[in-house]
Amino acid sequence: MTNRLVNKVAIITGAASGQGRVAAEFFAREGATLVLADVDSEGLEETRALARKAGGDAALFSGDLAQEESNRALMAMTIDRFGRIDALFNVAGLVRFGSAHEVSLEDWNFVMLHELTITFLACKHALGRMMAQRSGSIINMSSVSGLFGSPRHAAHAATKAGIAGLTKQMAVDYGPYGIRVNAIAPTQIAYASGQRRIAAQSQMRAPTEVPLGRHATPEDTAHCAVYLASDESSFVTGQVLVIDGGATAR
């Protein structure tokens, strides 16, 4: 433990597996007081065990974060138990892929709800608490798909572009309250065996156009999230940090 997040209360959504799970381990190692949220209660228990192994502990919140009441309850539980919210890492999301001409309205609305609206709701209900304490760091998950486009990612690209725009807008509105809002935009992420509890949602493409010669990993985004949650990034807000091994620099 290097104590970069000691005395900070951090909420991580989508913590039952994948990027959220790896981030929970990293945040625990840095001394954060954790609140882990997901609809998957069994996965949350597994993540808490990993956080404890990393030297921390976590309170758990199981609920559907695509619903407003769940977000209201999550923030209330955190305040009741720990008195403040210093960081919110919005990882929770579900996606369905397809090009614009073939995406059904049902799939479009599903992705809007489970990527963009779910992020908005967590931010909305955390912001009031952070405004009262006049501090906080919100970290949202965008994607290079939302910045530069990607084949068959119509709804996904739209939501991730929306998250990037919302991130910048909130940075302007809430900076005067001492609240920083940033986003992480990774390229396609390669998960190690056992890191995800759901099936892969898209086929992996060879990283032929990545100068560093590999895909992003959940460890890459977790390192970035720790930085954005810590005081090391105290003058960083309104940014979308691209984690892509140089792919978009070509």
| Domain CATH code at residue 73 | 3.40.50.720
Quick one: CA torsion of 43, 221, 112, 84, rounded to 10 degrees?
70
Count of CB atoms within 10 A of residue 76's CB?
12
Quote the pLDDT of residue 78: 98
Place of tokens 């951090």: 10
Quote the pLDDT of residue 206: 75
Judge whether 1 lies within some domain. Answer: no
Residue pLDDT, tens place only, 157-215: 999 999 999 999 999 999 999 999 999 999 999 988 767 656 555 566 778 789 999 99
Judge whether 167 lies within some domain. Answer: yes
Judge whether 31 lies within some domain. Answer: yes
Judge whether 4 lies within some domain. Answer: no
Residue pLDDT, tens place only, 60-80: 999 999 999 999 999 999 999
Judge whether 129 lies within some domain. Answer: yes
Give how many domains the chain has, as a whole number.
1
Judge whether 172 lies within some domain. Answer: yes
Quote the pLDDT of residue 1: 56
Task: For residue 240, give its domain range.
Answer: 9-249
Single-letter code of the amino acid located at 154: A
Judge whether 107 lies within some domain. Answer: yes
- The mean pLDDT value of the chain amounts to 94
Percent of the chain with pLDDT over 70: 96
Judge whether 122 lies within some domain. Answer: yes
Place of tokens 């597994």: 46
Backbone angles phi, psi at 200, to 5 degrees: -55, 140
**Which pLDDT band holds residue 154 (cuts at 50, 70, 90)?**
very high
**Which pLDDT band holds residue 41 (cuts at 50, 70, 90)?**
very high
